[in-house]
Amino acid sequence: MSEKTHQHHDPVGRLEDARLTTGAGRFSSDWNLPGQLYGVFQRSDRAHAEIVSIDVSKARQHPGVKGVYTGEDAVRAGYVKQMHTLTFTGKNGMQTRAPQRPALAATKVQFVGEAVALVVADTAGAAQDAAELIEIEYRDLRPAIQPEEALGSGAPQLHEVAPGNLALELDAGNEAAVQTAFAGASHVVRLKMEVTRVAPNPMEPRACTAVHDVRDGSYTLYTCNQGITTLRKMLSAYTAVPEDLLHIVARDVGGGFGQRTPVYPEHCALMLAAKDTGKPVKWVSTRAEGLATDSHGRSNVIDGAMALDAQGHILGMRLDWVNDKGAYLAPGCVGHLRNTSTCMTGVYKIPALYATYRVAYTNTAPIGSFRGAGRPDIAYVVERLVDESAAQLKMDPAALRRLNFIPSDAFPYKTATGSTYDNGDFPGLFEKAIKLSDWKGFPKRRKQSEKNGKLRGIGIGAVIEGTGMGNAPKDDVELVLEKNGDITVHTQAKSQGQGHETTFAQIVSKALGIPLERVKIVQNALEKQHQLLGNHTGGSRSTVGAGSVCHLAALKLIETGRPLAALELAVEPSQVEYSGGVFTTRESKRKVKLSDLAKSKPLVVAAEGKFASTFPNGCHIAEVEIDPETGVTKIVSYSAVDDCGVVINHTIVEGQLHGGVAMGAGQIFGEQVVYDRDTGQLMTGSFSDYFMPRAGMVPAIRGAEHPTPSKVSPLGVKGVGESGCTGSIPAIANAMANALRPLGIGHLEMPLTPAKVWHAIHAARKGGHASK
- Under rule CB under 6 A, residue 614 binds ligand MCN: no
Number of residues that bind ligand MCN (CB under 6 A): 36
Scored b (16 or more CB within 10 A) or e, 358-372 reads: bbbbbbbbbbbbbbb
CB nearer ligand MCN, residue 404 or residue 535: 535
Which positions from 649 to 668 touch ligand MCN by CB under 6 A, shown as an x/- string? x--xx--x--x---------
- 185-214 binders of ligand MCN (CB under 6 A): 202
Rule CB under 6 A: choose which of 543, 633, 672, 684 binds ligand MCN: 543
How many CB atoms sit inside 10 A of residue 506's CB?
Answer: 22
Residue-wise DSSP of 468-531? ---SSS-EEEEEEE-TTS-EEEEES---SSS-HHHHHHHHHHHHHT--GGGEEEEES-GGGTTT
Q: 678 by DSSP, 3-state: which?
A: coil
CB of 223 to ligand MCN, least distance (A): 15
Distance CA 518, CA 510 (A): 11
Interface stretch with ligand MCN, choices 95-103, 249-257, 562-570, 728-736 (CB under 6 A): 249-257
Task: Candidates 512, 720, 739, 752: give the one binding ligand MCN (CB under 6 A).
Answer: 720
Q: Which of 71, 258, 280, 376 binds ligand MCN (CB under 6 A)?
A: 258
CB 541 to ligand MCN: min, Å: 5
498 near ligand MCN, rule: CB under 6 A:
yes
Q: What angle is formed at CA 333 by the lines to CA 329 and CA 335, rounded to 5 degrees? A: 165
Answer yes or no whether residue 648 interacts with ligand MCN by CB under 6 A.
Answer: yes
Around Cβ 303, how many Cβ atoms within 10 Å? 16
Does position 489 bind ligand MCN by CB under 6 A?
no
Q: Which of 335, 497, 693, 727 binds ligand MCN (CB under 6 A)?
A: 497
Question: In angstroms, what is the minimal distance from the CB of 255 to ligand MCN?
Answer: 4
DSSP class per residue in 77-130: HT------------GGGPPP------SS--SEE-STT-EEEEEEESSHHHHHHH
The reply to whether omega before 751 is within 30° of 0 (cis) is: yes
Q: Where does this chain touch ligand MCN (CB under 6 A) — which range of 410-418, 639-647, 733-741, 760-768?
A: 639-647
Beta pairing partners, 626:
455, 633
Question: Can you tell me the distance from the alpha carbon of 743 to that of 182, in angstroms, rounded to the nearest whole number?
Answer: 30
**Residues from 137 through 176 that contact ligand MCN (CB under 6 A):** none
Give the interface segment with ligand MCN, choosing from 3-11, 182-190, 538-546, 548-556 (CB under 6 A). Answer: 538-546
Question: With respect to ligand MCN, which residue has the nearer C-beta, 268 or 521?
Answer: 521
| CB-based burial label for 119 (10 Å; 0-12, 13-18, 19+) | buried
> In terms of residues, how long is the chain?
772
Residues 35-54 that bind ligand MCN (CB under 6 A): none
Binder of ligand MCN out of 645, 680, 693, 727 (CB under 6 A): 645
CA distance 353 to 192: 17
Point out which residues pair with 624 in neighbouring strands.
Answer: 457, 635
> Residue 71 or residue 547: which is nearer to ligand MCN going by CB?
547
Asked whether position 719 contacts ligand MCN by CB under 6 A, the answer is yes
**Residue among 87, 83, 124 at smallest CA distance from 268:** 83
Q: According to the binding rule CB under 6 A, does residue 321 interact with ligand MCN? A: no
Q: Closer to ligand MCN at the Cβ: 282 or 541?
A: 541
* 542 near ligand MCN, rule: CB under 6 A: yes
> Is residue 296 at the binding interface for ligand MCN, with CB under 6 A as the rule?
no
247 contributes a contact to ligand MCN by CB under 6 A:
no
CB of 544 to ligand MCN, least distance (A): 6
Among 341, 364, 540, 684, binds ligand MCN (CB under 6 A): 540
Kindly state the smallest distance separating residue 108's Cβ from ligand MCN, in Å.
Answer: 32
247/706 with CB nearer ligand MCN: 706
265 versus 716: smaller Cβ distance to ligand MCN: 716
Query: Does residue 550 touch ligand MCN according to CB under 6 A?
Result: no
Binding-site member from 99, 256, 280, 631 for ligand MCN (CB under 6 A): 256
- Complete DSSP assignment for 147-197: HHHHHSTTPPP--TTSGGGEEEEEEEE-HHHHHHHHHT-SEEEEEEEEEEE
DSSP string spanning 238-295? HH---GGGEEEE-S-----TTTTSS--HHHHHHHHHHHHHSS-EEEE--HHHHHHHS-
Identified binder of ligand MCN from the candidate list 539, 609, 685, 693, rule CB under 6 A: 539
Nearer to ligand MCN, 510 or 556 (CB): 510
CA dihedral for 430, 433, 438, 439, sign (positive or negative): negative
For binding to ligand MCN (CB under 6 A), which residues are involved?
A: 202, 255-258, 371, 496-500, 503, 537-543, 547, 644-649, 652-653, 656, 659, 717-722
